[in-house]
Structure 1
Amino acid sequence: MKKTLTILVILINLFGCQFVSSPSNDGTNKDFESALDTALVSMIGSTDPSSNYLLEHPEEYDVDVEHYAFRLGSEEDFEMSKDLIKDIQKNIRKFKDRTLSDQQIIDKRVLLYELERMASGYQPFQFQVDPELDAIPQYLEGFTFRTESDIRGYFSLIDSIPTYFDESIAFYNKTEMMTQFEHEKLTDFVAVMKEQSLSDDFFLIKGFDSKISSLEFLKESEKTATIQENREAIRDVFYNAFVKLENDLKTVKTRPNRGLAHLENGKTYYETLIPSLSGRNLTIPEFQMWISNRRIEVYQRLKAVETSNKLQEYQDFESKQTAPDYKDAYALIDDLYKKSLRDFPEIPEIPYKVYNIDASLAAISNPAFYYVPPIDSNPDHTQRIYINSTFDPANFTTFAHEAIPGHMYQTQYMRGIKGMHPIRLYIRNNAMTEGWAQYVELLSVRYLGGPKGYEDYIRDLYESMYLILLEVDIGIHYNDWSREEMGSFFDSVYVNNTEDERDEIYRQIILEPGNIWSYYYGAMSIQSMKERAQKELGDAFDEKTFHQMILDLGSASFDTMDILFDEYLQAQ
């Protein structure tokens, strides 16, 4: 999912008294629960549009729904955010473990780690801001209308776009942080938005019409007026904002297509970025050692297959394999739910709806993606899966990643953890979230059939690629590799991809520094834990119990998971 576009702004001061009260009759410390309630409210900006996605009842969190606005945030805002995080840390630490329930102790441990990660990750202002201008239309498309205030808030958002664009251009000109790759990508996107926004079929017109027409709290005359107001806003404010942005981009200052290490303080920033994205507090050389050791394990297994008759068996299977046969996305996801029951803890069936991404967004969207439900919604809240254009059952493993047993399953499981505070759904560890989804994406290969060992072979093939790409990410952003140096590295490890493929890899890694770590390192960390458990427990190992151990912790760092993992091994 896209990152929040706006900066966290402090709303209220956290109280500073000492909390060592005893647990209540149900084992929970009500003062601790109240402290986390206060912390959650303080972290949600009063006009932050992400509240529309994060909260079903934003007004209960002091959100000014009618005045949503896209904001870039200032250096002062970031300093206030850092102070806020430190205040929350200070207040959480005041609670003694002996006064908390078991779940509250876990919440405390996880939150302190994540808050420390957030506080230590603050670097010079230019590294903290990512305008993500191309996310604006998709943000508006996913907006939910629950009340009339939401409608006002939506139009307030549109009205804030011109100022947001101006702030972003000023930021880029001041910092020269925009790469030539990013400039090309954004210029192309702006041209598409400018052209399409004049059409009646534009998704922010067509989709809005459909949403408003279905609202029960509006009269027919109000629906007509609201639909007309949106058309005028899109063709005036929205369109003209993109016209101006297109012109401003022609003169914006850009930098060469090089990694973070090419920038002043960029290498230092990368040293804090990767621990944050990977969920482990290691140095870059320590990560490189991990990669090297993991590569030896993976390559040894691949070599064992390639020097046996197994390889021919797997190739014969692949030559005859056909795409799975499902009539639609619902049939595929429902089948994934049934097949995953033998490998993952059972939870009640999840209400969900599948939506098609508008054709105008097809070129910039993934094959499928998932919207996290509001953190204050009921368990029976209908969740949303989006698919790009025509349903294709060949994207089976992508649906496993986004739906079951991936993001949708993991999120619903977390929502059912007894006693876990909702702030844990707000402050999540990306490595565990994306790592889990990537891990089960590879695991889901088993649901497509195949000879014994085939799933392991496919996973090792993918891991061999992941490990190389992690090295490339380090090379580009930590060692300042050029495109040519990256190509030489591929040659040295016998990667026979084309020059066009190498160009695209270089482009993506420049555009998204460190992004692959949450996915690839996260997935391999879970897999390596499973391999260790299988080795140490032998016949006592149960895969479903292993998965439950990970899921029971919720979204947490691998550093935090290590403690629970050791306890799990001892308990078995």
Structure 2
Amino acid sequence: MKNAKKRYLLCLLFILLVMIPSCRKSTEDVLNTREVFNQLTNELFLKEVKSDSISLNYTLANPENYGIHEYTPTLGNYGIDSTIEGLASSENYLERLKEIDYDVLTSEQKLTYDILEYLFIQDNSLDNMLLYPESLSPTLGIQSQLPVLLAEYKFYDKEDIDDYIELLYCTYDYFKEIINYEQAKSKDGLFMSDYIADEIIEQCNAFTKKKDNNLLISVFNEKISTFSGLTKEEIKTYKTQNKKAVLENVIPAYNLLASSLTKLKGTGVNDGGLCNFPKGKSYYEYLVKAQTGSSKTIAELIELLDNTMNNNINEIQKIASSNPDAINKMLQVTYDLQDPNEILDYLKEAIKEDYPPLSDVNYTVKYVDDSLEEYLSPAFYLTPALDDYKENSIYINQSPKYDMSSIFTTLAHEGYPGHLYQCVYFNQQSPDPIRSILNFGGYSEGWATYVELESYYLAGFEKDVAALLEKNNAAILALYARVDIGVNYEGWTFDDTSSYLKEQLNLTDKETIRNFYYAVIEDPANYLKYTIGYLEFLELRDKAQTALKDDFKLKDFHEFILNTGPAPFEIISKRLDIYMDGKS
């Protein structure tokens, strides 16, 4: 019996030994699989950057180096048909992705695979809510962003100038597509409220009020006058062509948008948050996940935000109790540096202890045109081309409604170690090009918010004062995000919001409350990408500190986050586990 059993085991061992080589992929097969994956990501990258000329111009300074030699200037397509086509494309790419042997990919390829799979699955969850996305809003809408995007359009050679002028002639037709989409929303009972429409109409009118000295004329004239290699006659011709395009196509497009929205006014049936629409809650859940990159449920986010507010308020009370003078100093805090360039130069040096090194790059601080001040953010960073990331632009909005006394932390958010630093650092790692165009607001805005609050400790304040500023702003951020969820998911009315803000902040000014209430309706989930992104980074840092104990180094953690790059937080967390295993 024993011999029979032994012969059986030997036979089984022989079979396994024969099978093992046949199960292993040869080196050639492994390399082929990796190449197939690279081909897929490259195909996807080219498809995305060629879909509209602004994306192409902002992404690549030298498209010919990526095999792009001929393309037609376009602003892309907008509407239900293009959305359906995009969803079908995502489903197709997901199927192709699943055919690839994940196990033989490199570590970086696996990361890209995980991110793409996450995005394709997320896209497919939108298929029954095609009329819920909104491209128009007073601050983040295409009509408010487009003038700045066009003003910053890069002229690398004469062909770019020709393409740009041709692109301007696409504006009218593109806006017509947006209007058709808004009309479809109106018929389905999903059109915006009158007060949002009024703000956008007013914004369009402000932009078109300037004609001969319109932003897109004055900026173009300045750029073209200093463009190397043009004759005086060519400069004159280009200026004439651009002015004609702006006056005959761009401004009429904005006038058309304003008049069309005016006609649609009164068809909006919802003056409150998203949840008041039939599928509003489901769409808000989709939007929160897309905006934040967090896998937490809405209930979990509410608990996280409530705990964040309470914990930070408790910390503030502890500091105030042990150091009463710190509160007065916080309330009267001033920053020694006020000049934007001096602040950025200072921050570049101040971050070296806790953040990995970054090669020198150029940055230009610019100011928002006065015709756009009322509607744009206090400041913003425009991402550079991935093959020309040494040239960077930060815009500052000098509108009187924004407090420029705290420009120090704003520039930490937009510049060093915020958006500019994070974006350039990632590009310097030479990632797969597809990674550079995938947008994860929770990562990018979460990182910028995380370092903005850390910048209080770089400003030269006493430790307790810096801590109070950090805790106070963290609590306020959590409160903003909580109101966003309250209005858009739980159906808070203006009175509900007023009661909540009075209870939490003792805020009773109706105009301030109304502006805030409308802001979360105009751009639902926008506050969450800042706050939840920030809190997710804190959770990752706490996780690393708990696991690594004395081996934890803040600079190493920051380097891990920056090397990983923009991604959903559940994927970053899994990568962190692998990273910590290597440390232990």
TM-score band (shorter)?
0.7 to 0.9
Letter in 2 for 1:317: K
Deviations, residues 407-435 of structure 1 (Å, cap 9, x unaligned)? 111011111225x2111011132101110
Structure 1 residues 72 and 126, CA, compared in 2 at 3 Å: closer, same or farther?
farther
**Which has the larger displacement, 468-477 or 83-92?**
83-92
Following superposition of structure 1 onto structure 2, how do residues 112-151 of structure 1 map, counting pairs within 5 Å?
112-131=117-136, 132-151=142-161
Deviations, residues 54-73 of structure 1 (Å, cap 9, x unaligned)? 22234566768764233452
Letter in 1 for 2:322: N
Following superposition of structure 1 onto structure 2, how do residues 212-227 of structure 1 map, counting pairs within 5 Å?
212-227=224-239
* CA distance in 1: counterparts of 2:206 and 2:332, whole angstroms: 41
Deviations, residues 166-207 of structure 1 (Å, cap 9, x unaligned)? 33233223212222232121111122122112x33x221111
Is 1:234 matched with 2:234? no
Is 1:341 matched with 2:348? no
Deviations, residues 492-521 of structure 1 (Å, cap 9, x unaligned)? 435424211111110110110101111111
Structure 1 residues 103 and 155, CA, compared in 2 at 3 Å: closer, same or farther?
same
**Distance apart, 1:483 and its partner CA:** 0.9
**Which has the larger displacement, 258-267 or 349-358?**
349-358
**Which has the larger displacement, 283-292 or 465-474?**
283-292
Is 1:55 matched with 2:67? no
Following superposition of structure 1 onto structure 2, how do residues 78-117 of structure 1 map, counting pairs within 5 Å?
78-117=83-122
Partner of 2:80: 75
Give SS of 2:355's match. Answer: coil
Which of 26, 44, 48 in structure 2 is aligned with 1:39? 44
Deviations, residues 64-97 of structure 1 (Å, cap 9, x unaligned)? 8764233452322212211212222233333334
Partner of 2:299: 285
Letter in 1 for 2:432: H
Give SS of 2:263's match. Answer: coil
Q: RMSD value over aligned CA atoms?
A: 2.7
Larger radius of gyration: 2
Do the aligned residues in 1 keep the contact of 2:291 with 2:529 (CA within 8 Å)? yes
* CA distance in 1: counterparts of 2:205 and 2:515, whole angstroms: 22
Structure 1 residues 164 and 26, CA, compared in 2 at 3 Å: closer, same or farther?
closer
Letter in 1 for 2:118: Y
Which of 433, 441, 445 in structure 1 is aligned with 2:444? 433
Structure 1 residues 23 and 37, CA, compared in 2 at 3 Å: closer, same or farther?
farther
Do the aligned residues in 1 keep the contact of 2:364 with 2:394 (CA within 8 Å)? yes
Structure 1 residues 167 and 456, CA, compared in 2 at 3 Å: closer, same or farther?
same
Partner of 1:451: 462
* CA distance in 2: counterparts of 1:353 and 1:25, whole angstroms: 45
Following superposition of structure 1 onto structure 2, how do residues 197-276 of structure 1 map, counting pairs within 5 Å?
197=211, 199-200=212-213, 202-253=214-265, 254-255=267-268, 256-276=270-290
**Residues paired across the two proteins, number:** 545
Give SS of 1:493's match. Answer: helix
**Which has the larger displacement, 508-517 or 267-276?**
267-276
Letter in 1 for 2:298: I
Is 1:388 matched with 2:397? yes
Partner of 2:487: 476
Is 1:317 matched with 2:329? yes
* CA distance in 2: counterparts of 1:397 and 1:447, whole angstroms: 10
Unpaired segments ≥5 residues, structure 1: 1-19
Do the aligned residues in 2 keep the contact of 1:46 with 1:62 (CA within 8 Å)? no
Do the aligned residues in 1 keep the contact of 2:75 with 2:171 (CA within 8 Å)? yes
* CA distance in 1: counterparts of 2:242 and 2:144, whole angstroms: 20
Is 1:500 matched with 2:514? no
**Which has the larger displacement, 497-506 or 146-155?**
146-155
Structure 1 residues 93 and 351, CA, compared in 2 at 3 Å: closer, same or farther?
farther
Deviations, residues 456-497 of structure 1 (Å, cap 9, x unaligned)? 332221122222222211111112221112112223435424
Letter in 1 for 2:274: L
Partner of 2:423: 411
Structure 1 residues 45 and 387, CA, compared in 2 at 3 Å: closer, same or farther?
same
Give SS of 2:463's match. Answer: coil
Query: Which aligned runs of 4 or more in structure 1 are off by greater than 6 angstroms?
Result: 23-28, 62-66
Letter in 1 for 2:135: D
Unpaired segments ≥5 residues, structure 2: 1-24, 137-141
* CA distance in 2: counterparts of 1:130 and 1:229, whole angstroms: 29
* CA distance in 2: counterparts of 1:319 and 1:297, whole angstroms: 20
Structure 1 residues 48 and 61, CA, compared in 2 at 3 Å: closer, same or farther?
farther
Do the aligned residues in 1 keep the contact of 2:80 with 2:131 (CA within 8 Å)? no
Do the aligned residues in 1 keep the contact of 2:77 with 2:177 (CA within 8 Å)? yes
Partner of 1:166: 176
Deviations, residues 498-550 of structure 1 (Å, cap 9, x unaligned)? 21111111011011010111111101221233234445544433211121121
Is 1:512 matched with 2:543? no
Q: TM-score, normalised by structure 1?
A: 0.88
* CA distance in 1: counterparts of 2:467 and 2:296, whole angstroms: 28
Structure 1 residues 112 and 70, CA, compared in 2 at 3 Å: closer, same or farther?
same
**Which has the larger displacement, 428-437 or 537-546?**
537-546
